[in-house]
Amino acid sequence: MIAFCVFNNKGGVGKTTLLCNLAAYYSLRESKKVLVVDADPQCNATAYMFREDALEELYGPARDGKTINQLITSLKKSKGYSEIPVKKSSTFGVDVVPGDPRFSLAEDFLAKDWLDATGGDERGLKTTYLFQALLKWAREKKYDYVFFDMGPSLGAINRTILLSCDYFILPMSSDIFSLRGLQNIEVSIGAWKKGLERGLTTFKEENNEDFVFDDDSRPNQDGIRFIGYVTQQYTAKTVGGKKQPVDAYEKIIRRIAPAIKKHLIDTLNKGSKPLKYKLGEIAYFHSLVPLAQAASKPIFALKSIDGVVGAHFDKVKQFEGVIKEIANNLTNNIK
């Protein structure tokens, strides 16, 4: 089982749309068993993958409480997970741990325990690996992939997710702000890794043994690893029968690969074998995105009943080809 998160500390880069369609492609087209964890308090992934009646059950007056917030509530009481709150999205073919706006309140709790973790405190270290038990459960349930949707921040919640996952995927919008944000990611992740190493070393020195979880498993100490990026949100033109960015976007897109090499590959992945880090490109698909959101469907599964007409059918096919390429490149990088 592989755990991914789709992460960028810049908002509006298309994280949720990429994650939901990639997860759906693996499930619907490659018959993989997939779990999506909506760890963004904005709950965009949950809102995309479920229709209004299901959302009313989750967030309406008679809410059942079966959301990601249930996990943090158990942790605050120093209890293990009593159950994992999972809901099936039939249109995307994936299981979902629904998001919850109240999960934002975990930020202060996790931030405090992080300070304890860097000092070698056992409870702080366990809190830092909040999602360890969830991933252990997912492994036992034979999931192939777990995807975490995240908000656009470098806060405590996202730090906890990044430290728990095997890899992160970076969606890059084709603008100067995404380029400048790469240095923020490099600095923050570097500081987190040093803090965690310090905490684990201190724990060992004070207890004469390595830190382990209650089930005797050990934390992932391979560090936060970068697996690839997707260039998104640019206007394309057709040249010689092939789509490519218009000149204004192309100038920025040419700067993305060198910047990612400098700030992510040469630091986080130093010493690893060369990979095809550019997983693919997603140009603007204009009205297909709101159609998909209204239908609670992946873009590549849209049909006439969902409002697809005329040239939109070709756009749907084009998008499936794009998401297939991204999925294939991601699979090859894992191998």
Report the alpha-carbon distance of residue 169 to residue 326 in Å, rounded.
Answer: 11
Helix (H) or strand (E) holding 230: strand 226-232
State yes or no: pLDDT of 43 exceeds 60. Answer: yes
Q: Do 36 and 49 touch, CB atoms closer than 8 A?
A: yes
Range with top average pLDDT, 15-29, 160-174, 263-277: 15-29
Question: Of 84-88, 159-163, 235-239, where does mean pLDDT reach its minimum?
Answer: 235-239
Residue type, 242: K
Residue in the structure block whose two tokens are 């702080």: 124
Q: What percent of the chain has pLDDT over 70?
A: 90
Report the alpha-carbon distance of residue 133 to residue 229 in Å, rounded.
Answer: 28
State yes or no: pLDDT of 217 exceeds 80. Answer: no
State yes or no: pLDDT of 246 exceeds 70. Answer: no
Q: What is the pLDDT of residue 247?
A: 59
For the chain, what's the residue count? 335
Domain encompassing residue 102: 2-334
Give the domain CATH number at 85.
3.40.50.300
Q: Do 211 and 143 touch, CB atoms closer than 8 A?
A: no
Question: Of 107-121, 197-211, 249-263, where does mean pLDDT reach its minimum?
Answer: 249-263
Q: Do 92 and 24 touch, CB atoms closer than 8 A?
A: yes
Per the prediction, the chain carries an average pLDDT of: 87
For the record, the structure tokens of 156 come out as 């405590």
Residue type, 153: S
Q: What is the pLDDT of residue 298?
A: 97
Question: Of 71-80, 253-262, 306-315, where does mean pLDDT reach its minimum?
Answer: 71-80
Tens-place pLDDT, residues 109-125? 889 899 999 999 998 99
DSSP state of 64: -
Number of domains making up the chain:
1
State yes or no: pLDDT of 28 exceeds 90. Answer: yes
Report the alpha-carbon distance of residue 278 to residue 171 in Å, rounded.
Answer: 10
SS3 159: helix
